[in-house]
Amino acid sequence: MVDLPKKKVGIVSCSGEELAEGTVTRLAALRVLEQLRPADTVTICLPLFLAGGEGDRAFARFYPTIAVDGCELHCAARATEMYSSKPAASVMVRELVAENGLGQPEGRRRLNPAGLQAVDVTAKRITVLVDELLGKHWDRQAGTFVEPQADSAVPESTEETGKVAACSCGSGIPTQTVQMDGQEVTLIALPLIFEQFRQSRKPPSGTTACELLDTVKLYNPAPDGADEQYKTVLMREYAVFYEKEAAR
């Protein structure tokens, strides 16, 4: 059975070094990435992002991102929106400091106690946003999170029409571009979804179209009211794929 890629959240943190709040953003992001939600998040390097890093920009186009800024300039949020798409959520350290009545963070290399408190608060806020974006829910009886989809690795695409766009976590993301109302729309994981359905012996049909749409929407945002159009296009593309594979 073909495994589908697991949806993750990209974290873009401020790279400013002239303010203590910039240090807070990086330490908070690191805590989420390494301790709090290591399996659900990846880092997006802001300097590389600005310099034209295609892997980071591709990831930010397909997956939700959280911009973590230190001050009112919102450099991380603005860069993400300029070169990929608007962040799914934004965090600003100075706002969190004010909301929680914390002292002024100080120390660009070694934070003072107020700065360390700001790291804790910022990391917790990022974690809450990650869980919200992934639709995770806490099961009190089991004492664990209920995952919306199974954890899985990303294999190489078996579809010739698909292409692989490198993501910031270093693994390939198979994508396929389709024609939707005269416009090109790139759908992430579509080659793998088609292959999974074929291996499950699901022929092109109305029922399959509904299942395809539900699966595709796990990885791709669909505009409101576009479900029928998406189903038509997905069924057309899947029928071509299905017949091609059957002829092999």
Question: Does residue 198 carry a pLDDT above 80?
Answer: yes
| 178-184: average pLDDT | 89
Question: Does residue 43 carry a pLDDT above 60?
Answer: yes
CA dihedral 41, 163, 166, 180 (to 10 degrees): -60
Is residue 42 within 8 Å of residue 168, measured between CB atoms?
yes
H or E stretch covering 183: strand 183-188
Pick from 9-18, 118-127, 163-172, 190-199 the range whose average pLDDT is largest. Answer: 118-127
| 222-242: average pLDDT | 92
CA angle 245, 247, 248 (to 5 degrees): 70
What tens digit of pLDDT does each residue of 55-104 get? Answer: 556 666 667 889 999 999 998 898 888 876 788 899 999 999 999 999 99
- pTM beyond 0.85: the answer is no
Name the nearest CA neighbour of 60 among 34, 39, 35, 78. Answer: 78
AA letter at 143: G
Determine the Cα–Cα distance for residues 221 and 244; give it in Å rounded to an integer. 28
Question: Does residue 39 carry a pLDDT above 70?
Answer: yes
Q: Is 243 helix (H, G, I), strand (E, B) or coil?
A: helix
Would you state the pLDDT for residue 2? Answer: 53
**Residue 240: HSE in the Cβ half-sphere, 13 Å Cα cutoff:** 10
H or E stretch covering 188: strand 183-188
Determine the Cα–Cα distance for residues 240 and 26; give it in Å rounded to an integer. 47
Looking at the DSSP bridge assignments, the partners of residue 66 are: 11, 89
Would you state the pLDDT for residue 70? Answer: 94
What tens digit of pLDDT does each residue of 145-162 get? Answer: 555 544 433 333 333 344
What tens digit of pLDDT does each residue of 106-146 get? Answer: 997 899 999 999 999 999 999 999 999 888 654 544 545 55
